[in-house]
Structure 1
Amino acid sequence: MSESLHTTRTTEAGQDRPELEKAIQAFVDAGFAGMQMRVNDERGEWVGSAGVRKLGASANPPTNGRFRVGSSTKTFVATVMLQLVAEGKVELDSPAAGRLPQFGLDPRITVRMLLQHTSGLFNYTGEHHPEVETGLPAVGKEWVDNRFRTYQPEELVRFALSKPARFEPGTEWSYSNTNYTVAALLIEQVTGRPYAEELRQRILEPLGLRGTVAPGAQLDIPGPHAHGYSRYQDAGQWKVVDVTRQNPSLLYAAGDMISTTDDLHTFFSALNSGKLLPAWLLTEMRTPHPRSGALVYGLGLSVQDLGPSGGTVLHHNGSAPGGYGALMYSTPDGRNTLTASLTGGDAAIDPIDLIKEFAGLQDKLIKEVFCNGQAGPSSHNRSTIPSGTKPAEGDA
């Protein structure tokens, strides 16, 4: 695997960011195949990449490359839903069941509960806290063998509803992809249009996000991109499979989107600067549920306190099956952002060790970008690394 570093810059003339070059190289040195990153702050815009775009090749990941963003999708879906709330087409604390009678949802489940993960609905990709309860295959050999299968969103929801609820609606917090698939179906019922069309008309076109798409069952990543890999054990042997082509319908509206670091920056900056939602709904979005633990989760995003040296950052990271991971961070005013993509590879490292290594590197990266490298409190919001290197948790 090549560990060469390629950096491009759109900052002011002569401005270098060696600390950022070092930061992304550290992820490659730890065992990731490649990383591309974009930072926008008071010094301008910096764009760089490290590692390789494909195993066995030497080319770096394209800095304008597209990638599967995983659960960063949820922030887009939450924004569309809250726009409908702002327009009076749905109420945040209204029941979802009446709008979607075909599912027989618990009538106590509200729109707010879906967006903040307090509905109690079983996560259709599996539950892992504290015991493991199997869901639809999202990692490992079983997912690799079925990665071209098309799932209908109604099928995903009915599978989840065939499992016992985790808790009474509104009484606890548990991250569940099911919530956002139901939310998308609710968007479709309210508007009479596919959620992907609402996304396009409300966010993608107004912001000029030409590299972003809700792909449905499309197998390919259009445009330049790095390859994704699934590394798993089969009969006691490690296998590495190129799974760049896959059917993302398993994570309908919960983790299916494709985007770029530039588009994620534009979207998250616009959202946090108040261009997409009225102030009162942005406040609702940023108000974490008290039971959301380390994730400090509001309505489609997380809030992280970096202490006096960094203040507050907002984020929603993601991982998608096949070794893709996404980082999406912003200051509350939308002026400073960090967006990135990582891909897993064939590094002979124990997945648990890679998870630990990633958590430390992510902390250092966030402090470098938002705290000028100063060590602040270690706020361990849930880390996200490319799927296939860890059990399928809620941030697929």
Structure 2
Amino acid sequence: MKKKRTKQIFRIVLFLGTAISLFFVPWLLVKAWILPLPDTVQEQLDEAIGHGFEGMIVYVDQAGQPPQHLASGWHNRESEIPADPHALFKIASISKLYDAVAVTKLVSDGRLSLDKTLANYLPELVGKIENAEKITLRLMIQHRSGIPNFTDAPNFWAAPTETYEESLALILDQPANFEPGEDYEYCNTNYLLINKIMDDVLGYGNFQFIQEEVLTPLHLNNTFSALSEVNIDNVMSGYHVGYPLDLKENDYGMHATAEDVGTFLRALNDGSLFKPGEQEIYASIYEYEHGGWVPGYQSFAKYYKELDAVVIAFYSTTDPKLYNWNLSEIINGRIVKILKRQKNS
């Protein structure tokens, strides 16, 4: 009887906790949006920490002004190490911009074709991925392939896959989400396959190609393909609401400083990283800004033409319901408003 009552109490507490969180968090978003705008970007970062983020990094490269390297909160909460604006961060899907540039350069060199299909490049997947004969490289880059997203597999982030084969196995023999080219759906499987295709065409890991063609020419010495390549003490800690441990030891791909991402994004937008003819190819296949999310890490990279400014924003706290993602976008918008006001004052 006592055990049954305990379970009933637990259910009531769980219900009340869920109800309170659903009521409270949207109002936090409203509060973050309507608060008076601070005078400086640094003050906005400090305010964001008050909203519940453990740490934050912002890099601003605005034409005619010295770059701003800003941080607030913790680099490591447990050790009480303050946030470092030059720390390494897991940039997650921002890496797709680098992949798209690499594809652009390989297409320009004639080593890849945007109109060849998945069946052409990976014939072993015919019959295992629906419409492999109709899905072109262009459609994969643009998330218009209809291939299921392997990171949508149940409980994926509780035990992420570690290899290409493990990731691919999650979607093999599944029906397509839509006919190729008929819709858009953001899909990490597209870029899993694109990276495999680049590796096969090059005969070596495509990050080496990115290093040679993008990172080295731009002097980006703080951009790395994996956690194994860096000093882990230089990586900002990441936290996920409801999970007690620091997530920085999880390897989710590329790591970079905000400044390195900002330098890359500036070169992407002004075209200086492209050889003749490449910018036209890139403009026809992908975008010039991106966000990234893995547990513990949210990242945003965007160029604002009206300010001639690149803004990179890193947030080291995520949550299951993505409230923090929405909160981040509000804060990003407020940072841009501060920059506009400062420019016009």
TM-score by length of 2: 0.79
Q: Of 299, 311, 314, which aligns to 1:338?
A: 311
Corresponding residue to 1:241 among 245, 257, 265: 245
1:108-157 deviations in whole A, cap 9, x for unaligned? 1111111110001100011xxxxxxx34612xxxx1xx36xx62213312
> Gaps (5+ residues) in structure 1?
1-16, 127-133, 233-238, 249-255, 288-297, 302-313, 375-396
How far residue 351 of structure 1 moved from its aligned partner, in angstroms, is 4.4
Q: Which of 278, 292, 301 is the matching residue for 1:328?
A: 301
| Counterparts in 2 of 1:333 and 1:89: CA distance versus 1, 3 Å | farther
Aligned residue among 149, 156, 179 for 1:137: 156
Q: Structure 1 332/192 Cα, relative in aligned 2: closer, same or farther at 3 Å?
A: farther
Tell me by how many angstroms 1:283 deviates: 4.4
8 Å Cα contact 1:329/1:338 also seen in 2: yes
Q: How does 1:72-111 map to 2 (within 5 A)?
A: 72-104=94-126, 105=129, 106-111=132-137
**In 2: Cα distance, 1:158 partner to 1:352 partner:** 27
**Alpha-carbon deviations, 1:251-280, whole Å to 9, x = none?**
xxxxx2111011101111112221223575
Partner of 2:289: 315
Instruction: State whether structure 2 residue 58 is matched by structure 1 residue 32.
Output: no
* Amino acid across the alignment from 2:195: A
Alpha-carbon offset, residue 56 of structure 1: 3.9
Q: 2:322 & 2:223 partners in 1: Cα distance? A: 32
Alpha carbons 2:115, 2:136 under 8 Å: kept: yes
| Larger CA deviation: 261-270 vs 194-203 | 194-203
Say whether 1:275 aligns with 2:272. Answer: yes
Tell me if 1:226 matches 2:236.
Answer: yes
Q: Max radius of gyration: which structure?
A: 2
The equivalent position to 1:23 in structure 2, one of 27, 35, 44, is: 44
Instruction: Pick one of 216, 221, 240 that aligns with 1:210.
Output: 221
Q: Describe the shift of the 1:33–1:62 C-alpha distance in structure 2 as closer, same or farther (beyond 3 A).
A: same
Q: 1:220 to 1:264 in 2, by over 3 A?
A: closer
Q: Take 1:178 and 1:353, find their aligned partners in 2: how far apart are those partners?
A: 25
Q: Identical aligned pairs, as a percentage?
A: 23
In the alignment, which residue of structure 1 is the partner of 2:81? 59
1:320 & 1:86 partners in 2: Cα distance?
Answer: 32
CA distance in 2, matches of 1:76, 1:124: 21
Please say if residues 221 and 245 of structure 1, whose CA atoms lie closer than 8 Å, have aligned partners that are also in contact.
no
- Residue type of the alignment partner of 2:267: A
Q: Does 1:124 align with 2:145?
A: no
Query: How many pairs does the alignment contain?
Result: 301
Candidates 191, 212, 223, aligned match of 1:180 = 191
> Please, what TM-score do these two structures have when normalized by structure 1?
0.69
Secondary structure of residue in 2 paired with 1:40: strand
In structure 2, relative to structure 1, the CA distance for the partners of 1:334 and 1:191 (3 Å cut) is: farther
The answer to whether the Cα contact below 8 Å between 1:269 and 1:335 also exists between their aligned partners in 2 is no
Q: Secondary structure at the match of 1:206?
A: coil
CA distance in 2, matches of 1:154, 1:332: 41
Structure-2 residue corresponding to 1:295: none
Residue type of the alignment partner of 2:279: L
Give the direction of change, closer, same or farther, for the CA distance of 1:201–1:372 in structure 2 (3 Å limit). same
Unaligned runs of 5+ in 2: 1-37
Distance 1:332 1:95 in 2: 35
Check if 1:198 corresponds to 2:209: yes
Of Structure 1 and Structure 2, the greater helix share is in: 2
| CA–CA distance in structure 2, aligned partners of residues 58 and 74 of structure 1 | 33
